[in-house]
Amino acid sequence: MKKIVSKNNNWITFNTPPFVNTGLKYINEAINNKKICGDGPFTKKCNEWFEKNFNAKKVLLTTSGTSALEMAALLCNVKPGDEVIMPSYTFCSTADAFVQRGCKIVFIDIRPDTMNIDEKLIEQAITDKTKVICVVHYAGVACEMDTIMDIAHRHNLKVVEDAAQGVMSYYKGKALGTIGDYGCYSFHETKNYSMGEGGALIVNTNLEDIEKAEIIREKGTNRSKFYRGQIDKYTWVDYGSSYLPSELNAAYLWSQLEIAEKINNSRIKIWNKYFNEFKQLSEKGLFEIPFIPNECVHNAHMFYIKCKNLEERTAFIDYMKRNSIGCVFHYIPLHSAPAGLKFGYFFGEDRFTTKDSERLVRLPLWYGLSDKEVKTIIDAVKEFYKN
């Protein structure tokens, strides 16, 4: 166990979960309605909000981003021994969902500019066992989706978008999560919009798949059809699990969706401030800042810098901590983790995954972070790089 460092009053947390006052009101409403299990009015409102605003065929709230990925893996109908291509630089859930189905994970390298899967390396990794390409829109910045969808079509592969970080981000005008066959959102407390633990699955394929998704989400029953009055009793029709979240969580999320634009603008404002303040230093080569391709509209999920190397990053995080600022790094590349070694392998050369993951550090960025706090953080970064 790591010792907990006591933090003073001026401590700037790395993350604070989003909260808006109506959240409490809506949770109360759900309780007073005596409807706190899944698929009540708040869940419906959230699903419809995403469908309408993101022009998505079908959106289903889930208990987490992880469970949305698990549902996507089930819908892909993968079998033990099938191969799934994904970046190694991601959260373990991206791989777990397919590992659970007995798949072999083929990790490939990232592009250093966006930290996304390098679309130019995908085709070489395809074998006759490959069934799925699972992309991750890191930091809410889209992967090169036209190229990836073209590869998938030519090789008859499914595309799953891990858009856990990509809610309110776009690629050529299309909302992330609505481009591949299935999209997965997360509403974990570290994400732009949160319900504590929660997520959503987006089904972009066809009615048959939508029906299958509803069945998987409802313990293998056709209860969704029953609720719509399409059948007069419901029964167990296929395999499934329980992937629908409580109304209490959906009510909390709804309070943020109502002001999603405002939350997004406030995050963008902070992100732009970091970007503009650090532009010069990055041009001088002191550290690197994020790159947003022209095709992408991002959601300011994250602001990171890339230090020279691991040693400098350790010193940086330590320096920020001494200045009462919480900065964190991620991810330990999956292919080098114990489970990654067991369930997959790295295809090709690891040019950037390990090297750049060791250099990246995230600055605080959350809804409610004050101008004063942002200034404190910027000053501390500049001070660190003065020496």
Ligand X SMILES: *Cc1c(COP(=O)(O)O)cnc(C)c1O
- One residue of 39, 83, 119, 162 binding ligand X per CB under 6 A: 162
Write the DSSP string, 156-205. Answer: T-EEEEE-TT-TT-EETTEETTSSSSEEEEE--TTSSS--SS-EEEEE-S
* Nearest CB to ligand X, comparing residues 301 and 313: 301
Q: Does 188 bind ligand X (CB under 6 A)?
A: yes
Scanning 86-94, 120-128, 252-260, 374-382 for contacts with ligand X by CB under 6 A, the matching segment is 86-94
Helix/strand/coil percent split, the chain, to 5: 40, 15, 45
Tell me the one-letter amino acid at 216.
I
- H or E stretch including 303? strand 303-306
* Residue 247 DSSP SS3: helix
Instruction: State which of residues 43, 88, 94, 256 lies at the interface with ligand X (CB under 6 A).
Output: 94
Tell the smallest beta-carbon distance from residue 122 to ligand X (Å): 18
Q: What is the smallest separation between the CB atom of 376 and ligand X, expressed in angstroms?
A: 26
Select from 90, 114, 116, 246 the one that contacts ligand X (CB under 6 A).
Answer: 90
β pairing state of 104-108 and 83-87: parallel
Cβ closer to ligand X: 70 or 288? Answer: 70
Question: What are the residue ranges of helices labelled H in 198-330?
Answer: 207-217, 223-227, 247-257, 260-283, 310-322
**CA distances for 336 relative to 88, 106, 219, angstroms:** 9, 12, 35
- Does residue number 186 form part of the binding site for ligand X (CB under 6 A)? yes
Residue (135 or 215) nearer to ligand X, CB = 135
Q: Give the whole-angstrom CA distance, residue 299 versus residue 262.
A: 12
Residue 194 C-beta: closest distance to ligand X, Å:
9
Q: Which residue has the tokens 């995080």?
A: 317
Which residue lies nearer to ligand X by CB, 188 or 212? 188
- 136 vs 175, beta carbon nearer ligand X: 136
In angstroms, rounded to a whole number, what is the distance separating the alpha carbons of residues 132 and 151? 11
Is residue 91 part of the contact set for ligand X (CB under 6 A)? yes
Would you count residue 357 as binding ligand X (CB under 6 A)? Answer: no
Token pair, residue 49, equals: 């909000």
Q: Which of 187, 182, 234 is nearest to 210 (CA)?
A: 182
User: Of 43, 93, 222, 299, which one interacts with ligand X (CB under 6 A)?
Assistant: 93
Cβ at position 71, least distance to ligand X in Å:
12
Residue whose CB is nearest to ligand X in the complex, by number:
65
199 binds ligand X (CB under 6 A): yes
Cα(192)–Cα(267) distance, rounded to whole angstroms?
8
Cα 348 from Cα 221, distance rounded (Å): 43
Residue 29's CB is within 10 A of a number of other CB atoms, namely 16
Q: Is 249 in the site for ligand X (CB under 6 A)?
A: no
Residues 6 or more apart in contact with residue 119 via CB below 8 angstroms: 111, 143, 144, 147, 148, 151
Cα distance between the two ends of the chain: 34
Q: How far is the CB of 34 from ligand X (least distance, A)?
A: 28
Which one of the spans 88-96, 264-272, 290-298, 332-340 is the region binding ligand X (CB under 6 A)?
88-96
Query: Given candidates 164, 216, 369, 381, which one binds ligand X under the rule CB under 6 A?
Result: 164
**Binding region for ligand X (CB under 6 A) out of 38-46, 89-97, 114-122, 170-178:** 89-97
Q: Given the complex with ligand X, which of 193 and 278 has the nearer CB atom?
A: 193
> Could you tell me which stretch among 44-52, 64-72, 308-316, 341-349 binds ligand X (CB under 6 A)?
64-72
| Total residues interacting with ligand X, rule: CB under 6 A | 14
We find the least distance from the C-beta atom of residue 136 to ligand X, in angstroms, to be 5
If binding is defined by CB under 6 A, does position 165 make contact with ligand X? Answer: yes
Q: How far apart are the C-alpha atoms of 285 and 276, rounded to whole Å?
A: 15
Stretch that binds ligand X, among 58-66, 211-219, 238-246, 289-297 (CB under 6 A): 58-66
* Footprint of ligand X (CB under 6 A): 64-66, 90-91, 93-94, 136, 162, 164-165, 186, 188, 199
